[in-house]
């Protein structure tokens, strides 16, 4: 476990003096970083890039900034248990860093963490002009005009979330799929042959296609 870097040969020559390990696909070079190379934990739960080009990793219960050569740790928000079950890091449209998990959502000001959302957060992503987050039953957004929260119109628990190319939010609950657009939740009706229960993952392709994965099918 740890952090892997996958580069084409052309990029590898510009980024690092890497060589292609024997037995790997010839079109790529691979580099691996672990605790032996400075990571505080081999369990990398999440990572993101900010606009300044740095890679930020949530490694175990640690947040580190990685520049391709060295890891620089950040202190976690104070006053919270060490086993806070952090879920991930995310970058918003301004390039700012966010940390989220069971203890809520925190924004990195450059010198310290600022608490923004107190409820447990299971997903967070920056859009074109705002940042989005979800708890188990609600959607929250913040932009330059302020922040708003929207309660999901069902008692079901949010299982998976994705932001599409139109800046609409897709959510999967225990038995339904929802799309949030223009301030409203719309329940999407899937064809009977495509109905899935317990959707575990949502993803959006570059062409805007929404993909869903469950224990039953893709």
CB 2 within 8 A of CB 33: yes
Structural domain total, the chain: 2
* pLDDT value of residue 180: 92
Query: Cα(39)–Cα(28) distance, rounded to whole angstroms?
Result: 23
Q: Is residue 1 part of a domain?
A: no
Query: Among 151, 177, 195, where does a domain finish?
Result: 151
Same domain? 126 vs 145: yes
- Strand order from edge to edge, sheet including 131-134: 123-126, 131-134, 138-143, 146-151
Same domain? 129 vs 52: yes
**What range defines the domain where residue 178 resides?**
155-218
CB 134 within 8 A of CB 161: yes
Q: What percent of the chain has pLDDT over 90?
A: 1
Same domain? 51 vs 133: yes
CB 31 within 8 A of CB 72: no
Task: Quickly state the pLDDT bin for 14 (edges 50, 70, 90).
Answer: very low
Closest CA to 4 of 18, 92, 13, 14: 18
* pLDDT value of residue 82: 60
* pLDDT value of residue 26: 54
| 21 pLDDT above the threshold of 70 | no
User: 82 versus 61: which is more confidently predicted?
Assistant: 61
**Chain mean position to CA 61:** 16
Longest dimension (CA), the chain: 54
Task: Quickly state the pLDDT bin for 13 (edges 50, 70, 90).
Answer: very low
User: How much is the pTM?
Assistant: 0.72
pLDDT mean over 16-38:
60
Supply the DSSP string of 39-92, one letter for each residue. Answer: -S-S-EEEEEE-TTS-EEEEETTEEEEE-SS-EEEEPPPTTS-TT--EEEEEE-
Same domain? 174 vs 100: no
pLDDT digits (tens, 9 = 90+) for 139-183: 888 777 778 889 988 888 888 888 888 888 988 887 788 899 888
Query: Among 109, 126, 151, where does a domain finish?
Result: 151
pLDDT mean over 6-32:
50
Task: Quickly state the pLDDT bin for 196 (edges 50, 70, 90).
Answer: low
Q: Is residue 52 part of a domain?
A: yes
**Chain mean position to CA 183:** 22
Task: Quickly state the pLDDT bin for 52 (edges 50, 70, 90).
Answer: confident
- Strand order from edge to edge, sheet including 169-172: 160-163, 169-172, 177-181, 184-188
Task: Quickly state the pLDDT bin for 135 (edges 50, 70, 90).
Answer: confident
Give the pairing of strands 86-91 and 146-151. Answer: unpaired
Instruction: Give the torsion through C-alpha atoms of 142, 143, 144, 147, to 10 deg.
Output: -30
């Amino acid at each position: 476990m740890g952090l892997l870097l996958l580069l084409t040969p052309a990029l590898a020559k510009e980024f690092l003096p890497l060589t292609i390990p024997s037995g790997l696909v010839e079109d790529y070079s691979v580099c691996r970083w672990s605790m032996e190379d400075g990571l505080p934990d081999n369990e990398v739960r999440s990572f993101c890039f900010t606009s300044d080009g740095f890679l930020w990793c949530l490694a175990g219960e640690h947040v580190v900034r990685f520049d391709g050569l060295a890891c620089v740790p950040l202190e976690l928000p104070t006053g919270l248990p060490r086993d806070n079950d952090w879920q991930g890091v995310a970058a918003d449209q301004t390039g700012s860093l966010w940390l989220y998990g069971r203890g809520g959502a925190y924004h990195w000001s450059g010198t310290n963490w600022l608490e923004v959302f107190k409820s447990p957060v299971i997903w967070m992503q920056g859009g074109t002009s705002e940042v989005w987050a979800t708890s188990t039953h609600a959607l929250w957004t913040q932009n330059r005009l302020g922040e708003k929260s929207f309660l999901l119109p069902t008692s079901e628990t949010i299982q998976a979330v994705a932001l599409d190319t139109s800046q609409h939010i897709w959510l999967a609950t225990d038995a339904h799929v929802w799309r949030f657009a223009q301030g409203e939740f719309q329940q999407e009706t899937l064809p009977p042959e495509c109905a899935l229960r317990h959707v575990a993952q949502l993803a959006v392709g570059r062409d805007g296609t929404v993909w869903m994965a469950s224990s039953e099918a893709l």
